[in-house]
Amino acid sequence: MDNRTTTLFSFTWLAAAFLTAGCGFNQQSRFQMSFLPPAPRAAVSGVVLDTPPVVEPNLFLRDVPAILLSNPQPRKTRGDALMQRAAQNLQRGMHFYQTNDIASARREFDAAIDSMLEASDQNPADRQEYELKLDEMVDAIHRFDLAGMGAAAAVEEGKFEKAPLEDILQMTFPVDPRLKDKVRAQVAATVSQLPLSVNDTVLGYINYFSNRGRRTVVAAIERSGRYRPMIQRILDEEGVPQELIHLAQAESGFIPRAMSRKAAGGMWQFVRFRGNQYGLQQTRHTDDRMDPEKATRAAARHLRDLYSEFGDWYLAIASYNCGPGVVEKAVERTGYADFWELRSHGVLPAETTNYVPIILAMTIMEKNAAEYGLAGIAMDPPLEYDTVEISAPTSLTLVADVLERPLAELAALNPAVLKSMVPDSYSLHVPKGTGNRLMAQLQLIPSGHRDSWRVHRVSTGETLAAIGKRYGISPGSIVAANSLPSSEAIEGDCLLIPAALRAETAVARGISHTAPRGTPTRRTRAKAAPVKSALAAGPRGKNPPALAASAR
């Protein structure tokens, strides 16, 4: 060994000694921040996010050649880039949360989850790390959502609901030995477009749904009546098995505004990016994922595309749950294009391994309803409605006033409307037979005021002063808006109420409420000419021509 070789060997041995003597080099993580940054000082109990200690640099390694300290990293994929973007979204969301900008925090948190779920399809280099980071992110956001962002209150108020089966997707249940022969005989005699299989996992869910989970199944069957004819029609039009209706049952229990911990929304539980791929768009005031008909169409087409890719309905259903990229990777790793083989090899997420058996259990039980005590359940009547095109931003409350129907009824027909404000060019559902009436009466209200004005029918004994006090306006404003000949209120009249635009709506639309006195704002520039209402004109107390025509 010559001197150069001896020197190089000695130097290499010395460097290795430093690296193995407790002075190891800390390789920086691909994620540049913790998923759990510090919470505000006033954070609710249960949200604990500690700041990591500062680590001083190791002086002994300052002069060691970089090549000896570097570890080869796997080539980064688009999935890794999406994970890094998600981390950045989360960091920004935490910043907004700490400054009490809740709307911005929620937007960034949603974007973080969307990026992580999209990353699943792009095969991140380290699948185990991906799963860990996703779970960590979901748990962190969920805690903040409940603690400081009003999600708990929103659920209590019925704005969004939890998917009923979300908690059981990672659970398995015991098998009733008495079920085995019975279920096998049922399946052998059952006609189904979706292939049916029976094994211990499927039997375990049948056992659960027959006992402790029975109420969940019954409630979903009852609720399904509202949407079943529409879903069956769309599944048939898209050429996919009718049994896929049970995906909506498993995903949401047919709840149009169900929201999962991973930000999947609607009856078919689309995450935002996947919904966008199939035409489900979001605006400040609407989310198409919550529209039962639009979401059903998107789900049927997505499932058809997944079947075209995999040629197997079980793999298509599994892909619907965890993403096609995950299933593709599992098939590549094992060489099996069979769901049960992938399940037995443990290469699919735990939730997905139970998702397909849940669908099969529900299908078998409903096709043999009498055997499971499910025959004769009274389903809710199908929702029937007219659809009208809204030509200007319009308050759902105004629509309820005009049609004299409960606001809750209109909200139920339009679950995709998030803030009781219908945007321009939106297709609004209204009770069957009321569409023409609504369009005729909206024409009588200046388009620039449909987001704030109200309509009020005068009751016995009411005065304009009392009506004005109720809506926070002067009696003179009511007289002017309706071109009334006097300040007397006549029982049965429908009056336009020029109510002020709500502050939060004005901010959303960019309307200033702090303009100097005398400065024309959008609201003052949109001053409407008095409406000689067909709502209140003609001979006082009588229905105007427009109302009479629409009532026929």
Give the tens place of pLDDT for each residue, 30-74: 333 333 344 444 444 344 444 444 445 444 444 445 544 455 555
Once rounded to an integer, what is the mean pLDDT over residues 356-382?
A: 95
- Has residue 3 been placed in a domain? no
Once rounded to an integer, what is the mean pLDDT over residues 297-324?
A: 97
- Has residue 5 been placed in a domain? no
- Has residue 16 been placed in a domain? no
pLDDT confidence bin for 119, thresholds 50/70/90: confident
Q: Which domain holds residue 412?
A: 385-512+520-550
**Do 435 and 539 fall into the same domain?**
yes
- Has residue 9 been placed in a domain? no
**Do 140 and 171 fall into the same domain?**
no
**Do 176 and 151 fall into the same domain?**
no
The CATH number assigned to the domain holding 265 equals 1.10.530.10
pLDDT tens digits, 143-169: 666 555 444 333 333 345 666 666 676
CA distance 401 to 410: 11
Residues 180, 184, 185, 190: what is their CA dihedral angle, to the nearest 10 degrees? 140
CA distance 447 to 247: 41
CA distance 168 to 450: 45
**Do 482 and 545 fall into the same domain?**
yes
DSSP 170: T
> Which residue has tokens 């049927």?
300
Q: How many domains does the chain have?
A: 3
**Do 329 and 453 fall into the same domain?**
no
Once rounded to an integer, what is the mean pLDDT over residues 334-356?
A: 94
**Do 240 and 110 fall into the same domain?**
no
Q: Which of 204, 246, 202 is nearest to 227 (CA)?
A: 246
pLDDT confidence bin for 229, thresholds 50/70/90: very high
pLDDT tens digits, 377-414: 999 999 999 999 999 999 999 999 999 999 989 999 99
Q: Which of 528, 547, 529, 527 is nearest to 537 (CA)?
A: 547
- Has residue 434 been placed in a domain? yes
Model confidence pTM above 0.85: no
Structural domain ending residue among the three candidates 92, 127, 156: 156
pLDDT tens digits, 196-215: 999 999 999 999 999 989 99
Structural domain ending residue among the three candidates 125, 156, 187: 156
pLDDT tens digits, 331-341: 999 999 999 99
Helix (H) or strand (E) holding 387: strand 385-390
The share of the chain scoring above pLDDT 70, in percent, equals 71
- Has residue 437 been placed in a domain? yes
CA distance 145 to 125: 30
